[in-house]
Structure 1
């Protein structure tokens, strides 16, 4: 990483993708390991919402995972750079987040779980990537830049805050603001309440079609932030199924554009970070892409939306 090219840049941290690619790829595999631990123990929730992470005041957490008659959680602490495992019986373990191979991280994490009496069986290779090298055999990914991961956390804090405001105006079915470790993106999804046709098979590498069928089982308008796209990451929004005319809808702001290859609108992170009012620009993108989906898709907006300031006199 070249530190001169990576900046804090006010309240919206600046982090060029090229400057931390190796750390990002290593961290992606580490999050998959921890995510699969949650998957192994958490009861099923629609659209696989039980497997995700949540942004915290220090990093990313699994939240409480049930285990026998108790619970445990795992947090990536990007302030002190520790992986923290806490159990409801009061026990606790920490691992350093530092340069180490995926194989070493996997062995250490599973070893600590064993010390805590938490037995976990998982499919020990990553999803949604190609090639899918088994965790125990991955000696290539071994980078960890603490400055870069703290900047990433700062980006996620800002994005999740604005996404949370956006989510508050929707009273229909909506996902939490959460991080999917398969693609390592922050996402929030709204649903019309109507079923959707199954997606085409084989659309995601190293992921079972039954997983994508559940994920895309209902009409949706989804938005997110992916730290791996463009110069500094990108905000995105898409509709499933995509209604006619979606690609040509007048989405705002002007810096947003439709990407025909991926079938989604994209807004460069750097455009938001350098805007006079970053919150307003991102909010405009979220609202206008949702409007494109809801208007063109014939959603019952009167039943699904509410004034997000409706309780301000409480």
Structure 2
């Protein structure tokens, strides 16, 4: 049955401990589709050709160029994976409780029927246990209400992160969903190169992280893990001296995670969730820019001023 975000509850409540089975299965499914985009899309700096984007129905790859351009979308309203091509083909895979192995087989078959020839590295990355997709019958859960609520979290987070992004005129990433760690992120860059990153992500080559962190940055986003209902986070690479001690109005610095954290639940239950989250995003960026000596006059501007008639 079709469902939509309820107007009375625009910031959905979804406790991390209540949906681990669906979350872990969905994580593997997104990696399968993400690896299709990785295999076919032209390389972009920091791997920006591989993430998904929040859509009006779920998460989309956006158009993947090639001899036959196509897109793939996780539809969390009607609970199906939809594949569409410029040739008019439409294929679907049901989002329902099923093993990763079955989802992988059905998705690759849908691609073949649509005339898409693709070969992927068919195992997950950035996870401790990398079970080949074709053999994974461990992850087999899907609760439609939980997936829909997660999408609702992403909708709200993406909206505020997009507003935050609009105040920066230097190099900045889109607001995008990285399926490796299953987080939504936006990243600002100072314009300077960074020290070589040491890597260390599980089942992920170090050179992948080296490319991702090739330039000095300040990144923030939402991760559906940790405690409570998930976490908003912010970090700098490289972390400048004084960064972690910079005063922020909400949230705090975690020495365990080496980043600032703000519980999603704190934002959701605030009198003005947007304002609270923007305070967190702005102040943690300032921690990176101030202590990292960024050229703020050249990198920041008021979007309202830019939109006004000249």
**TM-score, normalised on structure 1?**
0.95
Q: What is the alpha-carbon distance in structure 2 between the residues aligned to residue 89 and residue 106 of structure 1?
A: 23
Unaligned runs of 5+ in 2: 1-5
Partner of 2:265: 270
Partner of 1:102: 100
Q: What SS does the aligned partner of 1:123 have?
A: coil
Task: List structure 1 segments (4+ residues) > 3 angstroms apart after TM superposition.
Answer: 311-314
Q: What is the alpha-carbon distance in structure 2 between the residues aligned to residue 11 and residue 123 of structure 1?
A: 37
Q: What is the alpha-carbon distance in structure 2 between the residues aligned to residue 9 and residue 107 of structure 1?
A: 39
The alignment's C-alpha RMSD in Å is 1.2
| Matched residue count | 304
Q: What is the alpha-carbon distance in structure 1 between the residues aligned to residue 307 and residue 211 of structure 2?
A: 37
2:220 pairs, out of 219, 223, 228, with 223
Partner of 1:3: none
Within 5 Å, give how 1:1-314 maps onto structure 2: 10-68=9-67, 70-201=68-199, 203-253=200-250, 256-314=251-309
1:9 is displaced (CA, Å) by 7.2
Partner of 2:3: none
Unaligned runs of 5+ in 1: 1-6
Q: What is the alpha-carbon distance in structure 2 between the residues aligned to residue 189 and residue 67 of structure 1?
A: 27
Q: What is the alpha-carbon distance in structure 1 between the residues aligned to residue 77 and residue 249 of structure 2?
A: 35
Q: What is the alpha-carbon distance in structure 1 between the residues aligned to residue 214 and residue 34 of structure 2?
A: 22
1:61 is displaced (CA, Å) by 0.2
Q: What SS does the aligned partner of 1:207 have?
A: coil
1:311 is displaced (CA, Å) by 3.8
**TM-score, normalised on structure 2?**
0.96
CA contact (8 A) 1:14 1:270 kept: yes
CA contact (8 A) 1:42 1:66 kept: yes
Q: What SS does the aligned partner of 1:282 have?
A: helix
